[in-house]
A and B are shown apart, each in its own frame.
Chain A
Amino acid sequence: MPKPFTPKIVTANALIEGDVIYLTNNGEWSRRHEDARLFNDEEAANAALAAAALQAGEIVGAYLADAAQGTKGPQPTHFRERFRATGPSNYAHGKQVEL
């Protein structure tokens, strides 16, 4: 049986800086997870991913990641995405200090 669809966001890395980025409601890229558009529908998520993959001049390695609606916006549900949204745990580098 196929797994039931769980809500997703589209995420990638910015081409030049490599920063983690998220596809927003208005089709732009944000560095903040909570700005991401949350897809509750599998087809829409796949279509958004396919469209994102065409923006090769701006982004690298787009994929769908699980997320859940939080108070300020979508939140990561898996620890990998939580680390991507904050930065490494051994130094105060990356998003945890830059955003």
Chain B
Amino acid sequence: MYTYTDFDEAFVRSRVAQFRAQVERRIDGSLTEDEFKPLRLMNGLYLQLHAYMLRVAIPYGTISARQMRQLAFIADTWDKGYGHFTTRQNIQYNWPALKDVPDMLEALADVQMHAIQTSGNTIRNVTSDHFAGAAGDEEADPRPYAELLRQWSTDHPEFQFLPRKFKIAVTGAEADRAVIRSHDIGLQLVEKEGQLGFKVIIGGGLGRTPMIGKVVRDFLPEADLLPYCEAIVHVYNTLGRRDNKYKARIKITVHENGIDTMRELIEARFKEIRPEFTGVDQELLAGIKAQFATPPLRKGDVAAYEAAYQMDPVFRAWADTNLTAHRDADHAIVTISIKAHGKTPGDATSDQMRLMADLAEEYAHGELRISHEQNVILPHVHKGDLPAIHAALKAAGLGTANIGLASDIIACPGMDYCALATARSIPIAQEIATRVDELKIEHEVGELKIKISGCINACGHHHVGHIGILGLDRAGVENYQVTLGGDHTETAAIGTRMGPGFSAEEIVPAIERLMLAYLDLRDAPQETFLQTFRRLGDAPFKAALYPESEARNAA
């Protein structure tokens, strides 16, 4: 794992000291809120409905056991004993007091973490595949590039006041687990004639105008990464609209100017600045890569795993859903569900954090990952250790076997916390998961991505959910709109809106009807919800959503 250089350490410490002084000046009245707000946002501090919220970056989703324990300590000391893991590989604390935030940042700095550039119109936390470095299907580990991008973008003088926020995601595999097509820049490591490089995608985004990113360069040699990204952000910084916040993201710049014009401008700028990158970045990259080396994987007997798989149906169900193939056959990638039925998606208590840290230390080389789907991953686990891990997780309420299934829901904080929300998302997720559990149908239904946002900003990725739910305020009442057919992977698609929204009471039965309709409609158990939707189109699903209007039409 990456450890801070002296430069990183000094930078983060000096930012904490600066912010401490700014908070003091805000509290003693020398700074107005208008002056203070941009400063607090630069340090990840928001004001939500009930309290402040501190957003802490977990760069490319990688975190050590020691860091996880510190997150638990922070939750206990300055918050209410839990944290919320988000779709952008951050953790959010919902109840900090302003005066305590500098201490929280100091505690983060003690374990090489921070909240810098988790807000504001800058380049945000660079996200990545949560299986990076462990998955069997990747060209190379994307995280060293994510770290290089983090170093390049942190405090980059040209890019502190972009037209709008800017998000970059990197993946090493064709199977897209990092949603790269909905980022401002999406990077996929590819190989061409024995050389490593990137497929570069720009202009993806969700929010009120969802767009799937477009390929701007099929193959970018590895060594050109920084100058090319700098060229992209430069062109965006110059061309991006500052007159209208809703048209300020690069997706609109690409949409309005066309990908071909963008490509010409980017390539021209790239030629100009390429010579300035003399290779220092490549030396840096080599050093970073060494820090991401695979931990020494142990050889050994996997009989304990095979025995448990045969004998214990609860273990088997968990193994079938929560394990992913590791590139070493004796190892597995474990996804720990923090989506127990009826609980808040993405929330972990401090005790759960500590348990996961202990398990990582004992069985998984001290390393954990946070996924954009709001779960926690142990990336390198020897199969012989799986029964013990499962037993420990189960005892802590972390043994839910639902990864990729209907109750593995992404939900944004919605109106339970977020000041921008138009409706709640969390209770809808809780109720859907509870209902699915009562019906015991999610294993039968199989792969299904339900994603819920509490407003048009789409932090809950509803546009790319197989079933997307968007909470709105319709004349003072919460109302939920359903989109179907979204896809966040390499076959990315924006979901289609089905029709009028549902009330908070109607939405869960409506989702239930969709699942039951799918079970009737699929041509074989292997055909997933998304495949069935793609084969049959809207009509049969609309009929399931709106049975009354169907009956009326038939009459």
Instruction: Choose from A56, A60, A90 the contact partner of B344 (Cβ within 8 Å).
Output: A90
Using a CB-CB cutoff of 8 Å, which residues 53-99 of chain A contact chain B? 56-57, 60-61, 77-80, 83-84, 87-91, 93-95
Residues of A near B97 (CB, < 8 A) are 16-18
Residues of A near B50 (CB, < 8 A) are 18-20, 84, 87-88, 93-95
Contact B47 A88 (CB under 8 A): no
Complex: chain A residue closest to B98, CB-CB: A16
Instruction: Choose from B52, B96, B426, B478 the contact partner of A90 (Cβ within 8 Å).
Output: B426
B166 close to chain A: CB less than 8 A: no
A46 close to chain B: CB less than 8 A: no
Nearest-Cβ distance from residue B508 to partner chain A, whole angstroms: 15
Nearest-Cβ distance from residue B54 to partner chain A, whole angstroms: 11
In the complex, what distance in Å separates the CA atom of A92 from the CA atom of B305?
40
Instruction: Choose from B29, B48, B99 the contact partner of A16 (Cβ within 8 Å).
Output: B99
B417 close to chain A: CB less than 8 A: yes
Contact A89 B424 (CB under 8 A): yes
Task: With a 10 A CB-CB cut-off, give which of B47, B50, B344 has the most chain A CB atoms.
Answer: B50
Contact A88 B27 (CB under 8 A): no
**Given A79-B477, A80-B415, A90-B426, residue A18 in contact with residue B51 (CB < 8 A):** yes
Contact A83 B95 (CB under 8 A): no
A51 close to chain B: CB less than 8 A: no
Interface string of B335-369 (1 = CB under 8 A from A): 00000000010010000000000000000000000
Contact B415 A83 (CB under 8 A): yes
B38 close to chain A: CB less than 8 A: no
B80 close to chain A: CB less than 8 A: yes
In the complex, what distance in Å separates the CA atom of A79 from the CA atom of B424?
10
**Given A13-B47, A60-B33, residue A18 in contact with residue B52 (CB < 8 A):** yes
Instruction: Choose from B47, B49, B476 the contact partner of A60 (Cβ within 8 Å).
Output: B47
- A side interface size, CB within 8 A: 25
Total A-B Cβ pairs within 8 A: 76
B267 close to chain A: CB less than 8 A: no
Provide the main secondary structure of the chain A interface: loop
Interface string of B237-268 (1 = CB under 8 A from A): 00000000000000000000000000000000
Residues of B near A50 (CB, < 8 A) are none
B385 close to chain A: CB less than 8 A: no
In the complex, what distance in Å separates the CA atom of A81 from the CA atom of B344?
22
In the complex, what distance in Å separates the CA atom of A41 from the CA atom of B74?
46
In the complex, what distance in Å separates the CA atom of A60 from the CA atom of B347?
27
**Given A15-B27, A20-B49, A60-B33, residue A79 in contact with residue B426 (CB < 8 A):** no
Contact A84 B49 (CB under 8 A): yes
In the complex, what distance in Å separates the CA atom of A87 from the CA atom of B97?
16
Complex: chain A residue closest to B430, CB-CB: A90
In the complex, what distance in Å separates the CA atom of A80 from the CA atom of B414?
11
Using a CB-CB cutoff of 8 Å, which residues 1-32 of chain A contact chain B? 13, 15-20
Residues of A near B94 (CB, < 8 A) are 88
Residues of B near A87 (CB, < 8 A) are 50
Interface string of B207-245 (1 = CB under 8 A from A): 000000000000000000000000000000000000000
Contact A56 B51 (CB under 8 A): no
B509 close to chain A: CB less than 8 A: no
**Given A13-B47, A84-B50, residue A18 in contact with residue B98 (CB < 8 A):** yes
B404 close to chain A: CB less than 8 A: no
**Given A79-B476, A79-B477, A93-B95, residue A19 in contact with residue B49 (CB < 8 A):** no
In the complex, what distance in Å separates the CA atom of A88 from the CA atom of B95?
11
Contact A89 B52 (CB under 8 A): no
Residues of A near B29 (CB, < 8 A) are 56-57
Nearest-Cβ distance from residue A79 to partner chain B, whole angstroms: 6
Task: With a 10 A CB-CB cut-off, give which of A13, A88, A91 has the most chain B CB atoms.
Answer: A88
Contact A78 B476 (CB under 8 A): yes
Contact A56 B32 (CB under 8 A): yes
In the complex, what distance in Å separates the CA atom of A95 from the CA atom of B49?
12
Nearest-Cβ distance from residue B80 to partner chain A, whole angstroms: 6
In the complex, what distance in Å separates the CA atom of A91 from the CA atom of B94?
12
Contact B415 A19 (CB under 8 A): no
Complex: chain B residue closest to A78, CB-CB: B476
Nearest-Cβ distance from residue A46 to partner chain B, whole angstroms: 19
Residues of B near A15 (CB, < 8 A) are 26-27, 98
Instruction: Choose from B99, B347, B426, B473 the contact partner of A89 (Cβ within 8 Å).
Output: B426
Complex: chain A residue closest to B45, CB-CB: A18
Complex: chain A residue closest to B97, CB-CB: A17
A: residues with CB less than 8 A from B are 13, 15-20, 56-57, 60-61, 77-80, 83-84, 87-91, 93-95
B: residues with CB less than 8 A from A are 26-29, 32-33, 47-52, 80, 94-99, 344, 347, 415-417, 421, 424, 426-427, 430, 473, 476-478
16 pairs, A vs B, C-beta closer than 8 Å: A16-B97, A16-B98, A17-B51, A17-B98, A18-B52, A18-B96, A56-B33, A77-B476, A83-B415, A83-B424, A87-B50, A88-B416, A88-B426, A90-B347, A90-B426, A91-B80
